[in-house]
Structure 1
Amino acid sequence: MNSIIAIVLAYLIGSISFAVVVSRLFGLSDPRTYGSKNPGATNVLRTGNKAAAALTLLGDGFKGWLAVWLALTYQFQFDLSDSTVAMVGLAVFIGHLWPVFFKFVGGKGVATALGVLIGINVWLGLGTFATWLIIAYAFRYSSLAALVASLFAPFYYALLFGARIELLAVVIMSALLIYRHSQNIANLMAGKESRLGSKKKDAAEKEAQKPHHEHKSHKKH
């Protein structure tokens, strides 16, 4: 019973979409309605509000770390198996992808996945993050960096710990992350993917910077 409760709680923690919550606090439009329509830090950054994007990134990463940290901290107190801890990490990630609180429309999971990896082991998380940074700096594609980092994450885990049960969770998480980036993969292959630091902004992105009440007032005129 404790294992089921831990997994369900992890999923609920993951279901807190910080992109939507932070956007509402800052008076920005719902990130699911503009740009890539992805509720994540990269899309929030399209509004030009760097503080909102940073809080989104930190929040999404924190919830991944928190779920795993809680499971590991109270593992023996509540008699949680290693398999349960692995499922907790996977559950918080799935919660981000398909959040129950936001009609199952979630983000791609990069920050949350990183938080989970740091929760499992700080060196595992830092190694994966370093991979992301290297690829992002070299090629200027956030999506490509995420894809490469997700491919290397299971390899890093196996190198550090061998074939433990958590490795399966990391593999599944990496596979889901790649799946969520399917459109980005198509854009990369077609040469249409936007680069980091791109100055291009469309009308939807400009509108996203305006609070909802401004949109309504414009419509009245």
Structure 2
Amino acid sequence: MPGGRLTHEDRRRIAEGLGEGLTPTEIAGRLGRPLSTVTREVARNGGPDGYQADRAHLATQERARRSRVAASPGPEAEAEAVHGLEEQFTAIMVGTGLSRMTARVLTCLYLTDSGSLSAAELVQRLRVSAASVSKAIGELERQELVRRERDPHRRRDRYVIDADAWFRGWMASARQNSALADFARTGARTLGATTPAGARLQDIGEFFERVGHAMLQAAEEWRREQAARP
């Protein structure tokens, strides 16, 4: 078929045509193939002077095999893809202000199917000290991004990521903004709103009050939408 792949016999006839001194157009006409098919085949397999049918056929089969392998990645390629995902997630979390170790712990919890790991499992997965994991967990708990559960079978704590993790973290951040707004307004009254420092604190208070209110409103809307889902 004109649009089909070249067969071994097609390649043998191309080699014969080149040996007879035929032009690519004449060879394409003899095969009933598009001129572009013949010129591409010859160019990628040694050119008019170096084209050999057997070698061209084997080379084409090898290229097809490599394409199938690339389309169906093996365990090593899959592991590399997961590692890349972990690194990207960790970098994003570091960008939000988390320390790298804390970001690595959070990433590990999020990308684990169970969403739940013990301190010992985190130490093993991340290959870090128990003290490093403990410090990171403490930071995540303060921001309410993880919660602690007691494993009744092994009598040890497990650290859990659940559907409300970001909601709790968002609410904690909103409360911090509200506290900062209250402090700034109090400072403005103490220093006097007409002083440069007092006016600066007044602006800060108004900004964080508005941001905190918007965060709380957005979180509550999200919670209502989640509750309404079937």
Report TM bin, short chain.
under 0.3
Larger strand share, 1 or 2: 2
When normalised by structure 1's length, the TM-score is 0.24
Structure label with greater radius of gyration:
2
Return the structure number with greater relative CO, CA threshold 8 A, min gap 6.
1
Scaled by the length of structure 2, the TM-score of the pair is 0.23
